[in-house]
Structure 1
Amino acid sequence: MSDDARILLVDDEIGIIKLLEITLRKEHFIHIITATTKEQALQALQEYDFDIILLDVMLPDGDGFTLCSAIRQLTTVPILFISARSSDFDKLTGLSVGGDDYITKPFNPLEVVARIRAILRRQRVYEKPAALPVPKSYEYGAFTFIPDEAVLTVGGETVEATAKELELLHFFCKHPNRVFTIPHIYESVWGEDVFGEEKTVTIHIAKLRKKLGDNTKKPSILVNLRGIGYKFIPPNGNPS
């Protein structure tokens, strides 16, 4: 699984790049492109297709948040922030501009590898060809979602969404009208136990609400039950 994954590693600290490169190669990730500036990262994206991007926030010619927004104009490739900026505000910003996950420095490089594998494992679910000529879809009055094609349409218009957002939506569509705690959602979608990652779930749900046209102040599709968790209420009946 690891050998053919192409990784873009963006960080201006050479020591961090070398540490991650050594660890990733030991774990059989051999296709690694590195960049130390925003400009180099954007150039690499023009030359290669990547399976995942590891992105620092503080870069010499700009910040990773701005770069993430620019990348999201080009591709929905998963983005994992790795930064010394550890405040809740920074984490929320990283997730809101399109990041799929956020790890703070100092970090255990093997944790980074575990996160990469979890993201790639779920990403490839959406890259597999459909087993049937007509893939199963979830069709509601408000939106249509075809998991095998990674296509989400709202009001007849195709809506761009990251792989992680689609995985989260797929999880809810498979379990309508059931209440799930945040740790359960995180473990089911991100593939690991939750350790202070509640905001990762809440930010992705907030982004999904906007894309589904759900009322963000009084949601009726992705509903929050205070102190309990979240529930997906299918709009206008059952999927086909």
Structure 2
Amino acid sequence: MSNRILLVEDDREISQLIESHLKMENYQVMVALDGEEAAAFINTEEFDLILLDLMLPKVNGMDLLKQIRGKSIVPVLIISAKGSDLDKALGLGFGADDYISKPFSMMELTARVQAAIRRATQYIRVENQPSHHRLSFKDVILDLHTFTAEVKGQSVQLTSKEFHILKLFLTHQTRVFTKEQIYQLIWEDDYFGNENVINVHIRRLREKIEEDPSNPQYIRTIWGIGYKLGD
């Protein structure tokens, strides 16, 4: 069965172009031309990916993203002409998985869509060895069967990107990762100095798992290099 995508884009010409291309790539595509219509789809349908424009009538993209993240970890790829670092930080900070600025090529969009769905699909793969389904460090526990996280016995809601970043550190507990390595491993894409993307996700992850995000005990910054887990 082909993957289902919700495309939220108010520009009819752009939405028709994207819809036509994705259908040629064998995706099922539903189109919403405003935030209100998109919210109705999200409340009644299930999708493998949401392509979300920021500048929408009725309900704007940021508010819609917050609604999505209140109920789902479905991958969200922002598509917008608003390409400043601030907009990227806001979008990714609210839980978007990736960000692509207009204008973009259909080849690039397809690659981003495929990568996002592939990463999300990893959630439903059951580990072959039962002893490997739980990863832990100090008071942090990741369960790879239920895709849940706990800190000091309390459940923590993570986005798919946050889950995979934390899984990366818990799997390699003594290794230091550069921002470039994190981006290439988690986003499965070439790194073009996308520091802001990494910074936002690390900050949001710290806010969820650290008692004092300004003095992190789990994900430490190694100045001039990158990040590593704990001590």
TM-score, L = length of structure 1: 0.91
The reply to whether residue 89 of structure 1 matches residue 111 of structure 2 is no
User: For residues 109-167 of structure 1, what are the alpha-carbon distances to aligned partners after superposition, in whole Å with 9 as ceiling and x for unaligned?
Assistant: 21111011111111111112343456521233322111232110112121111111111
Q: Aligned partners of 1:151, 1:181: CA distance in 2, in Å?
A: 26
Contact in 2 for aligned 1:130/1:149 (Cα 8 Å)? no
Q: Give the fraction of aligned pairs with identical amino acids, expressed as a percent.
A: 37
The reply to whether residue 150 of structure 1 matches residue 147 of structure 2 is yes
Q: Find the counterpart in structure 1 of residue 193 from structure 2.
A: 196
Shift of residue 84 of structure 1?
0.3
Moved over 6 A (4+): none
Q: Find the counterpart in structure 2 of residue 20 from structure 1.
A: 18
Q: Aligned partners of 1:218, 1:153: CA distance in 2, in Å?
A: 20
Q: Aligned partners of 1:94, 1:196: CA distance in 2, in Å?
A: 18
The aligned runs of 1:73-88 (5 Å cut-off) are 73-88=70-85
Shift of residue 61 of structure 1?
1.0
Q: Aligned partners of 1:133, 1:100: CA distance in 2, in Å?
A: 29
The aligned runs of 1:98-113 (5 Å cut-off) are 98-113=95-110
Match of 1:69 among 52, 66, 73: 66
Q: Aligned partners of 1:93, 1:174: CA distance in 2, in Å?
A: 29
Q: Aligned partners of 1:44, 1:15: CA distance in 2, in Å?
A: 21
Q: Aligned partners of 1:21, 1:141: CA distance in 2, in Å?
A: 46
Match of 1:209 among 199, 206, 212: 206
Q: Aligned partners of 2:220, 2:131: CA distance in 1, in Å?
A: 31
The reply to whether residue 186 of structure 1 matches residue 183 of structure 2 is yes
Q: Aligned partners of 2:77, 2:222: CA distance in 1, in Å?
A: 29
Report the 3-state secondary structure (helix = DSSP H, G, I; strand = E; otherwise coil) of the residue aligned with 1:149: coil
Contact in 2 for aligned 1:183/1:194 (Cα 8 Å)? yes
Could you say what the CA RMSD is over the residues aligned between the two structures, in angstroms?
1.5
Moved more, 222-231 or 122-131: 122-131
The reply to whether residue 126 of structure 1 matches residue 84 of structure 2 is no
Contact in 1 for aligned 2:135/2:167 (Cα 8 Å)? no
Q: Aligned partners of 2:15, 2:230: CA distance in 1, in Å?
A: 44
The reply to whether residue 169 of structure 1 matches residue 166 of structure 2 is yes
Q: Aligned partners of 1:67, 1:57: CA distance in 2, in Å?
A: 9
Q: Aligned partners of 2:73, 2:21: CA distance in 1, in Å?
A: 25
Q: Find the counterpart in structure 2 of residue 7 from structure 1.
A: 5
Moved more, 119-128 or 131-140: 131-140
Q: Aligned partners of 2:100, 2:130: CA distance in 1, in Å?
A: 40
Match of 2:50 among 33, 49, 53: 53
Contact in 2 for aligned 1:135/1:148 (Cα 8 Å)? no
Which consecutive unaligned segments of at least 5 residues does structure 2 have? none
Report the 3-state secondary structure (helix = DSSP H, G, I; strand = E; otherwise coil) of the residue aligned with 2:217: coil
Moved more, 190-199 or 50-59: 190-199
